Amino acid sequence: MKSDIMIFKWKIVILGDPSVGKTSLVRHFCDEYFRENYLSTIGVSFLRKELSIQDYKVTLQLWDIGGQSIFGGKLRENYLRGAHGALILFDLTEKSTLMHLPEWYENLISTTSEIPIILIGNKCDLPYKEKIVSRAERLAKKYGAPLYITSAKTGKNMIEVFYTLTKKVMKKAEVEIADFDVQKEMKNDPVMKLKEEK
């Protein structure tokens, strides 16, 4: 058991086409509530989330990067540099957003090299075809990345995604942590406590 609390700051980038729910997912996680309508992010939006994991205090610096095609090239690369982990989202109800996922992935790894990545199929609270999940599973296997099906609205799998990515980032950085159960660590999160009270 460590006598001192150690503090880490990790830069996490959130990528995907416009309107796949990046901002909604991140803000629900950080602000502990869901809002129906957000304007599309132009450029980049910054949020922070504090986590306590074992003997560590972790600050996630969340970079919600705009998905517009006009916001690309060197400008986007500048925002990706220095990232410790990434979430790449697509909309389960819009096949085209999944088709663009390889482009997001290639753009990311060409700038950041190998960092922990999680693929996310968002908006599972709406009707969607299982076929799109099967295609996403094939991509996830190809990239060696976990795939999560989430809802920014209901919060389904939302907290687990962020804790799982944090665990992967810490292991990648060779931080000394005992192998931990994500579900147990999540129970101390304010968002999870709110959900349990409802």
Query: Residue 58 is part of a domain; what is its CATH number?
Result: 3.40.50.300
Residues 6+ apart with CB under 8 A from 53: 163, 166, 167, 170, 177, 180, 185
The encoded tokens of residue 179 equal: 């192998």
Q: Give domain status of residue 195, yes or no.
A: no
Q: Is 196 a member of any domain?
A: no
The answer to whether residue 188 scores a pLDDT higher than 50 is yes
Does the structure show a pLDDT above 70 at 178?
Answer: no
Give the domain extent around 174: 6-188
What average pLDDT does the segment 65-69 reach?
A: 74
Say if 177 falls within a structural domain: yes
Total domains present in the chain: 1
pTM score > 0.85 for this model?
A: yes
Is residue 106 assigned to a domain?
yes
**What would the pLDDT profile of 90-125 be if each residue is shown by its tens digit?**
999 999 999 999 999 998 999 997 899 999 999 999
**The pLDDT of residue 42:** 57
State yes or no: pLDDT of 9 exceeds 90: yes
The confidence score (pLDDT) of residue 70 equals: 47
| Stated length of the chain | 198
197 in a structural domain: no
- β partners of residue 65: 44
Q: CA-CA distances (angstroms) from residue 190 to 15, 49, 82, 129, 176? A: 25, 11, 28, 32, 25
Amino acid sitting at position 96: S
- Segment among 4-8, 65-69, 116-120, 154-158 with least mean pLDDT: 65-69
Assess if residue 124 is contained within a domain.
yes
Enter the tokens of residue 94: 């819009």
Instruction: Over range 73-100, report the average pLDDT.
Output: 91
User: Higher model confidence: residue 78 or residue 89?
Assistant: 89
Q: pLDDT exceeding 70 applies to what percent of the chain? A: 79
Confidence of residue 1 (pLDDT cuts 50, 70, 90): very low
85 belongs to a structural domain: yes
Look over the chain and give the mean of its residue pLDDT values, rounded to a whole number: 85
Q: What is the pLDDT of residue 2?
A: 47
The stretches of 34-143 forming alpha helices (DSSP H) are 73-80, 95-99, 101-112, 130-143
Please give the residue that has the higher pLDDT: either 55 or 179: 55
How large is the average pLDDT for residues 168-181?
A: 80
pLDDT in tens, 17-66: 998 999 999 999 998 877 666 555 556 889 999 998 888 899 999 999 98
Residue 76 lies in a domain: yes
